[in-house]
Amino acid sequence: MKQEKRSRLSKQRQVILEKLQLHTDHPTATELYEEVRKQLPNISLGTVYRNLEFLNERGLISEVEVTGSQKRFEKVKENHYHVRCLRCGKVEDITYLICNKESGNCCGGSSDGRSCIAHQEDIVGEHSGFRIVGHKLEFFGFCNECSSHEM
């Protein structure tokens, strides 16, 4: 289905999506604009913003919500978490906190198989009586580059 969605994209949207898929980090709209402009010199920053919104609404990309930072974007991936540098704003994925509930391969290794972050929705739901539909978790600190500048 995603291939079907992708085939109906305008040239601008295809280029934006291609540039974003090359990233392992989480670029801002301005950073993507600078890259896209090399291939499409007449594109405006506003057009990039509108196209990012379009791609996000259709589930082809995700907007990364990080506290106190510009909007950042990423290709759609499985559930994962982020760590953000408080100085430079760099955002990276954290995937090693995710486990496979179904296989019983829990990263926490507890006997009930629910000690990892991915299982906290179940625990919170049981204790609160809420039907939990999602959660957000963000870690923050200083990246290696910013930490080395302090010394």
Question: Per residue of the chain (151 residues), what is the pLDDT tens digit?
Answer: 454 454 578 999 999 999 998 887 889 999 999 999 999 999 999 999 999 999 988 888 888 876 667 788 888 766 677 788 888 888 887 766 555 555 555 555 444 444 566 677 888 889 999 988 777 777 889 999 999 876 5
The reply to whether CATH 3.30.1490.190 applies to domain 78-150 is yes
Classify domain 2-73 by CATH architecture.
Orthogonal Bundle (1.10)
* Range(s) within the chain of domains with CATH label 3.30.1490.190: 78-150
* Range(s) within the chain of domains with CATH label 1.10.10.10: 2-73
Q: For residues 135 and 147, what is the distance between their CA atoms, to the nearest angstrom?
A: 29
Q: For residues 77 and 60, what is the distance between their CA atoms, to the nearest angstrom?
A: 10
Q: What pTM was estimated for this model as a whole? A: 0.59
